[in-house]
Amino acid sequence: MKKTVREIATVIETFAPKGLQESYDNAGLQIGHPDMEVTAVMLCLDVTEEILEEALERRCNLIVSHHPLIFKGLKEITGRTATERIVEKAIRENVAIYSSHTNLDSAKEGVSYEMAHLLNLCNLKVLDPKPADNETGLGIVGDVQPTPKIEFLRKVKDTFKVKALRYSGQSPQLVVRKVAVCSGSGASLIGDAINAGADIIVTGDVKYHDFTSYGLDIIIADIGHFESEIITKVIFSRIIREALPGVETYYSERETNPIKYL
């Protein structure tokens, strides 16, 4: 029996309630009707024109993404931008698009939890917990077996398939025992990581002045935004398969990091 967009959205929001999203966010159903029957689901980080075409080829009429396609709103749909063309084509081809963004970041066992599990951290705590629940919020801090700094940085690089790892070379720490992680853009949590006693914070989108301001207090490892959040596809697949085992899900095979390295 086929499931509806509403049923799939419900299981995702049971795991990552929309109430957890940040005030600036736009998570939820972006395109499509909640009662539409779903043939199959395409999972991705960002919705692109290539991924929409891939969904159509695989007969997926629902795309579930981490980053919202419509983030700041649209004032026109003329086909001038990629977002406008995706909206136009998705409506024409009857493809629904749903996103779970900062609510998935803050959910218990959400994106930063997944990062922590991949690095084999234990004694996990939320770095910046929500007022009502200390198991939800942004970032995770946990313990790891004492590991030499460079060895741990290599592990981070390999685990997240990072092509160019940026880290604070001036940090005096030689051994890593406590680790903070935050998916996406987590530089705002560097101070929280220091206060939590972390030796290192692993995140993305760190600015030059964050390195100069905090590099003597903590090791800062910038693995990139894409690299820290591509694991959201695994989380979406797990949520849907466990709650609705009859629903077919596919990881996009055409998703690529928009940032390239020479």
Which among 156, 196, 151, 155 has a CA at the least distance from the CA of 174?
Answer: 151
pTM of the model: 0.95
How far is it, in rounded angstroms, from Cα 103 to Cα 16? 5
Distances (CA, A) of 64 to 19, 108, 222: 18, 19, 26
How far is it, in rounded angstroms, from Cα 100 to Cα 28? 6
CA 171 to chain centre: 27
Query: Confidence class of residue 16 from pLDDT cuts 50, 70 and 90?
Result: very high
| Bridge pairing between strands 175-185 and 166-167 | unpaired
Is the pLDDT confidence value at 1 over 80? Answer: no
Distances (CA, A) of 221 to 63, 88, 133: 31, 39, 28
Is the pLDDT confidence value at 134 over 90? Answer: yes
Which among 141, 142, 225 has a CA at the least distance from the CA of 189?
Answer: 141
How far is it, in rounded angstroms, from Cα 259 to Cα 249? 26
Segments of 107-227 assigned E as strands: 122-130, 133-148, 166-167, 175-185, 200-204, 219-222
Q: What is the pLDDT of residues 78-115, one digit of tens each?
A: 999 999 999 999 999 999 999 999 999 999 999 999 99
Q: What H or E segment, with its residue span, contains residue 14?
A: helix 5-15
Query: Confidence class of residue 132 from pLDDT cuts 50, 70 and 90?
Result: confident
How far is it, in rounded angstroms, from Cα 134 to Cα 131? 7
As a whole number, the mean pLDDT across the chain is 97
How far is it, in rounded angstroms, from Cα 9 to Cα 2? 14
Region 33-56: what's the mean pLDDT?
Answer: 98
**Mapping DSSP to helix (H, G, I), strand (E, B) and coil, where does residue 236 land?**
helix
**Percent of the chain clearing pLDDT 90 (strictly above):** 97
Neighbour count for residue 59 (Cβ, 10 Å) = 11
Phi/psi-derived region of residue 119, left when phi > 0, alpha when psi is between -120 and 50, beta in every other case: alpha
Which residue has tokens 């081809």? 93
